[in-house]
Structure formats: structure tokens, C-alpha cells
Amino acid sequence: MKDYYAYHLDLHQKQVKDAKIAFLPGDPGRVTRIAGKISRDYQELAFHREYRTAYLEVGQIPLLITSTGIGGPSTAIAIEELAQLGIKIFIRLGTTGTIQPFVNLGDMIISTGAVRMEGASSHYAPIEYPAVADWQLVNILAETARTSGIPVHCGITASSDTFYPGQERYDTFTHYVIKRFQGSLEEWKNLNVLNYEMEAATLYTMASVFGLKAVAVSGVIAHRLDQEMCAVKEIPAIETKLALLIQHSIPAIRNLL
């Protein structure tokens, strides 16, 4: 086995064993919380900067849960290094703010594609290149959510480099949003975009460029038609749903390898 060492993830090739599937929350705290809901036998392999990795097996299928930090640049580093460690399937586990009235707090959104409002993806492909999910992963996760009784919506996401102005939030230091983003929430809503988050476009562009597979599923913690704030109290239930989705979808996902 070649001994590749991933510098930012602080992971040696040998440590990840034969894992080909990685789940990617942004928050390092979510790595062990979700791993612990799935298996008592998970191993924490590394924790360097925003990158924390746990190894676990679900029905003898090896997998990693690795945090990416927030946004495109740190996510791009995680994907680069995980791909070099042999990961073929990337599943982002996130949180999000919806901009559609028919989506509720606590619902799940599976991003079929992402508006490339971030910058990192343009270092991998020109802006005309689409940021799209792997359709088989979308199908597997949507069906798993449906059969598990988890409310789910599939559609387009807007991935922003900023949480505040790029998502047209005014509850900020200056209370000012530059002209480019004034009215943008209403416009994305009219264009049937479901939600804002910060990583899917980078993940999808890189996975397609690399010839690998990716999907992003996010739990809704902000209803942007009502308020700008996030409903933090939704997070524990969302993490439970994300852990359930992993457990129930792994056999079908493994068949894609």
C-alpha cells in the first residue's frame, strides 16, 4: 500500500484502511456526535485544524466521517486529500437556510445541483461548467429519506462564499449588503432555488472534474422568509436524521463502488 500522508487532514493512507466512502459535515463536533449515533466502535483518527476524521464500519462497510470546516476553500482541501487517500464517494452532511415557503424547519434538502456563487470551484473548472450531484446518490438518499419517514426536498441550492452578504443577511455589523446581492434572495426564490449553504458547489464541481461521485444533504435550520437567525434547537434532531440516513443508505451506496 502506498504511504500517502494527507497534510491538512493529518491522515496516513494506512489509517483509512479500505474506506472508499466519506461523509462530510462542516463542524468537527458533528463528526463524533454522528459517528457515536451510528456505532459505539468508531475510532477518531485525527483532529488537525478544522479537519477531524472518524473511521467506522456499518455492516462491515468501512467509511470515514471527516469535517471540512465552513465554505469552499477548506472543503476543497478536504476533497483533494480524501481523493488522494482513495475516497470515491463524498456525501456532505450539512445545515442550510431555505428560501421556499413549502420547506419547513427540520426538513432535509438534497441538492441536485448548486449555483456556483462561491469562488473555490472556479479554480477547478470554468464557470460555465455545471455543479451537479451524482444522480444515483440523489436517488438513493431521497428514497432512503422517504422510507425512513424523513421529510425531504430535492432541487437546486445556492452555494455562497459568505454566510451574511452572499445570503442577503442584514443583521450584520454594517447592516449593509452590496448592490449585487440586494434582492438576490427574492430572485433565487423566483428561480426555484430551494436553499442557501456554502459548500455544495465546490464539492460537486471537484467531484465531477475528478470523475468521482458526490451528493449533499442538508437539514433546514433557518427559514429565510421568516427570519435571518438560525434555529439552533433544530440541530440535534437533524443530526439524528443524518445518522439514520447514513445507516440506512450505506448498502445501496456501496453498490455504486
User: Of 42-81, which residues contact ligand URA (CB under 6 A)?
Assistant: none
> In this chain, which stretch among 15-23, 59-67, 191-199, 238-246 interacts with ligand URA, using CB under 6 A?
191-199
Q: How many residues of this chain interact with ligand URA, rule: CB under 6 A?
A: 11
Of 45 and 152, the one with the shorter C-beta distance to ligand URA is: 152
> In this chain, which stretch among 28-36, 90-98, 140-148, 232-240 interacts with ligand URA, using CB under 6 A?
90-98
CA distance 204 to 133: 6
Asked if 224 and 185 touch (Cβ cutoff 8 Å), the reply is yes
Binding string, residues 96-115; x marks residues near ligand URA by CB under 6 A: xx------------------
Of 42 and 196, the one with the shorter C-beta distance to ligand URA is: 196
CA distance 54 to 204: 23
222 binds ligand URA (CB under 6 A): yes
27 binds ligand URA (CB under 6 A): no
168 dihedral zone (left: phi>0; alpha: psi -120 to 50; beta): left
Of the candidates 76, 87, 158, 198, which one interacts with ligand URA according to CB under 6 A?
198
Of 53 and 95, the one with the shorter C-beta distance to ligand URA is: 95
Clarify whether 81 is annotated catalytic: yes
User: Of 146-175, which residues contact ligand URA (CB under 6 A)?
Assistant: 163, 167
Q: Which three cell numbers stand for residue 107?
A: 426538513
Q: Which of 181, 157, 156 is nearest to 168 (CA)?
A: 181
Of the candidates 53, 66, 95, 112, which one interacts with ligand URA according to CB under 6 A?
95
Catalytic residue among 224, 234, 239, 248: 224
Q: Which of 69, 38, 73 is nearest to 54 (CA)?
A: 38
Clarify whether 169 is annotated catalytic: yes
Of 41 and 171, the one with the shorter C-beta distance to ligand URA is: 171
Report phi then psi at 104, rounded to 5: -110, 160
230 binds ligand URA (CB under 6 A): yes
Minimum Å gap between C-beta 154 and ligand URA is 18
> In this chain, which stretch among 56-64, 76-84, 91-99, 133-141 interacts with ligand URA, using CB under 6 A?
91-99
Task: State the Cα torsion 65-70-75-78 to the nearest 10°.
Answer: -50
In angstroms, the first-to-last Cα distance of the chain is 19
Residues forming contacts to ligand URA in the complex (CB under 6 A) are 95-97, 163, 167, 196-198, 221-222, 230
Catalytically active residues are 8, 81, 169, 224
